[in-house]
Amino acid sequence: MASRSFYDLSTCCLSLAHPSPFETSPSRQISKYLKVVPVDGKGLGVVATQDIKPFTLLLAECPDIADLDDRDRPKEIASVAAAYRRMSPIVRTRFNELHEAKSKSETRELRIWRTNALYWNPNKDLKAESMAAFLNMSPHQPLFDKKRMHLTSTKSIHIGEEVTICYNDTLYYMTRVERTAFLRYTYDFTCPCRACTDREFGHISDQRRQTIKQIFYCDIFGWLVAFDFSTKIANYEDAIRMVVDSSLLKNKQHNLNNSRGLQKPGVLRRACKLEYDEGLINVGLIKFIMNSSMAFLIDLQIRGSSGEECSDGNGFQRTIQLLTACESLLRQLYPPGHPDQEEGARAKADILRLFSAEIKYDAMTIDDCQELISTAMDAEPDPLSERAAYGS
């Protein structure tokens, strides 16, 4: 389940997402790459102070308040209430002036907490579900260890461009109409990003996201019918609990590690390409590409041992490149000492040993990794028009 943290507004950019009393606050630098500025219609936003390359560490912060297990509802309520009482008068005033959701079933502190907290899974896939300066469906990516958040860019950012983080990965699998309804009801605002406002772009975006949802619910997890977000949204009393009901999607990495989906490497590979084409490029996707590449290579080895040969030599080489580049990139992005650094390197070595392949890419820089991953993913077949190319 997700954890939550609240950041002091005097030092952190990630708490304000809605119009607020701080709209006229002066700009302030919060890191080498970021500053907080007033943004029309949004209150405060975060913009780049210089041109930024993909996978650059933008910010590292420690939370003032953290709830490490929201599965225990009474404990969560008590934790937030106690943290609220401990706040200094200045921080409490700022906290009280934050935007709050419209739910009437909770105390005001909890409504503000739920609306403005950062959400993340601290365990397997490190895929954040984050409240940010403002919502975007093609966001940048926070990484977390137990005490510190590391905000990393996932694409090139130009000087002056607004920097955003997605609220939660459940939104990745909704259509434009479903996202708009959910955000209007839950947070009382409309997302202005291209995926939500551009009808032409939104049409192909909806196709990709619906296909991704179908793959994870039905092809990987074995559901007869994929989760119906539109029906859930229609039942407004339950809309706030959508994230809980769709927890399978957030645990895709965990299920891959426990052999779910490993018998369908083509399906996993197609899902990776769909997320890549949609622009959902983040640390979670890089790890997903790495593990799906391992599944593809293991499947080749199994079929090869029974006399079958790989018919896609280019696909095999791309998979080797993706595995090595993704592992090298993740090793450089994880906080020092993170257990997945050693685990990923060991798994990569074991897989490559099956094919007597040399590890040639360990000396790659982050730029080298990103370029190799982009080149390999761009060469993959179109997942919508060339579905058969991915097999099963």
Per-residue pLDDT tens digits for 295-322: 888 888 777 643 344 555 568 889 989 9
What pLDDT is recorded for position 81? 77
Residue 247 in domain:
no
pTM listed for this prediction: 0.71
Kindly list the strands in the beta sheet with 43-48, ordered across the sheet, starting from the edge strand earlier in the chain: 28-29, 34-39, 43-48
269, 370: one domain: yes
Rg from Cα positions in the chain: 21
Nearest Cα residue to 149 out of 171, 170, 172, 129: 129
135, 74: one domain: yes
Q: How far apart are the first and last CA of the chain?
A: 31
50, 159: one domain: yes
Mean pLDDT calculated for residue range 212-225: 82
Mean pLDDT calculated for residue range 61-69: 60
Which of 240, 269, 293 marks a domain boundary? 240
Distance, C-alpha 270 to centroid of its chain: 18
Mean pLDDT calculated for residue range 43-72: 75
As a whole-number percent, the residues of the chain with pLDDT over 70 amount to 63
* 149-163, 245-259, 328-342, 348-362: range with highest mean pLDDT: 149-163
Helices marked H in the chain — which ranges?
73-86, 89-96, 108-116, 176-187, 194-197, 199-214, 229-234, 242-245, 247-250, 252-257, 265-278, 283-305, 313-333, 339-354, 366-378
Is residue 73 very low, low, confident or very high in pLDDT (cuts 50, 70, 90)? low
Please give the Cα distance from 40 to 44 (Å, whole number).
8
Residue 148 per-residue DSSP state: -
Query: Quick check: 273 pLDDT over 80?
Result: yes
> Token match 């694409």: residue?
155
* 69-73, 229-233, 274-278: range with highest mean pLDDT: 274-278
Residue 36 in domain:
yes
Is residue 118 very low, low, confident or very high in pLDDT (cuts 50, 70, 90)? low
Is residue 254 very low, low, confident or very high in pLDDT (cuts 50, 70, 90)? very low
Number of Cβ within 10 Å of residue 378's Cβ equals 10
212, HSE (Cβ side, Cα atoms, 13 Å) = 28
> Mean pLDDT score of the chain, rounded to an integer?
71
Which of 143, 167, 191 marks a domain boundary? 167
Q: What is the dihedral of CA 13, 14, 15, 16, to 10 degrees?
A: 70
Query: Quick check: 256 pLDDT over 60?
Result: no
Residue 27 per-residue DSSP state: P
Contact 356, 349 (CB under 8 A): no
Is residue 392 very low, low, confident or very high in pLDDT (cuts 50, 70, 90)? low
Residue 147 in domain:
yes
Give the domain extent around 118.
3-167
The residue ranking higher by pLDDT, 197 or 125, is: 197
* 94-103, 260-269, 304-313: range with highest mean pLDDT: 260-269
Residue 83 in domain:
yes
25, 147: one domain: yes
The residue ranking higher by pLDDT, 21 or 238, is: 238
β-partners of residue 175 are none
CATH number at residue 140: 2.170.270.10
- Listed in sequence order, the residues at least 6 apart from 70 whose beta carbon sits closer than 8 Å to its beta carbon are 1, 2, 3, 4, 76
Contact 281, 374 (CB under 8 A): no
Number of Cβ within 10 Å of residue 248's Cβ equals 16
* 29-43, 77-91, 272-286: range with highest mean pLDDT: 272-286
pLDDT tens for 181-190 read 888 877 777 7
What pLDDT is recorded for position 74? 62
What pLDDT is recorded for position 193? 80
Q: Please work out, in degrees rounded to the nearest 5, the angle formed at the alpha carbon of residue 28 by the alpha carbons of 22 and 30.
A: 115
Q: What amino acid is encoded at 260 in this protein?
A: R
- Listed in sequence order, the residues at least 6 apart from 305 whose beta carbon sits closer than 8 Å to its beta carbon are none
Please give the Cα distance from 170 to 161 (Å, whole number).
25
- Count of domains in the chain? 3
Query: Quick check: 126 pLDDT over 50?
Result: no
Backbone angles phi, psi at 165, to 5 degrees: -135, 145
